[in-house]
Amino acid sequence: DIQMTQSPSSVSASVGDRVTITCRASQGISSWLAWYQQKPGKAPKLLIYAVSSLQSGVPLRFSGSGSGTEFTLTISSLQPEDFATYYCQQANSFPYTFGQGTKLEIK
């Protein structure tokens, strides 16, 4: 199985801050990397697919980059509604696997 390792596991930040979350795959996953946002009691919401493609309706402050085994999600200027848990996920091979999550908290 491909292991997806996110860092950090949690981060405290303020409105307006720039935040970067990293995801490392245990082997190459081509461009099959997605980022999800999840708020308490809600289903995950797709933010980024294919490493850097922004899902329709997602604000431009979200961006993704990377290749091979190292990927990042960047939020350029945090807004109050961005405080949530973020997951990376690979769909290169079965079983699809998720990172353990990064909880973004208000400082």
Partner 1 sequence: QVQLVQSGAEVKKPGSSVKVSCKASGDTFINYPMSWVRQAPGQGLEWMGRIIPLREKPNYAQKFQGRVTISADRSTSTAFMELSSLRSEDTAIYYCAYITGSTIDYWGQGTLVTVSS
Q: What does the binding site for partner 1 look like in residue numbers (CB under 8 A)?
A: 1, 32, 34, 36, 38, 43-46, 49-50, 53, 55-56, 87, 89, 91, 94-101
Q: Looking at beta carbons only, is 10 or 77 nearer to partner 1? A: 10
Is 57 exposed, middle or buried, given 0-12, 13-18 or 19+ CB atoms closer than 10 A? exposed
Nearer to partner 1, 19 or 88 (CB): 88
Min dist CB 15 to partner 1, Å, is: 26
> Using CB atoms within 10 A of its CB, is residue 94 exposed (0-12), middle (13-18) or buried (19+)?
exposed
C-beta of 61 vs 101, nearer to partner 1:
101
Shortest Å distance, C-beta 91 to partner 1: 4
Shortest distance (Å) from residue 98 CB to partner 1: 4
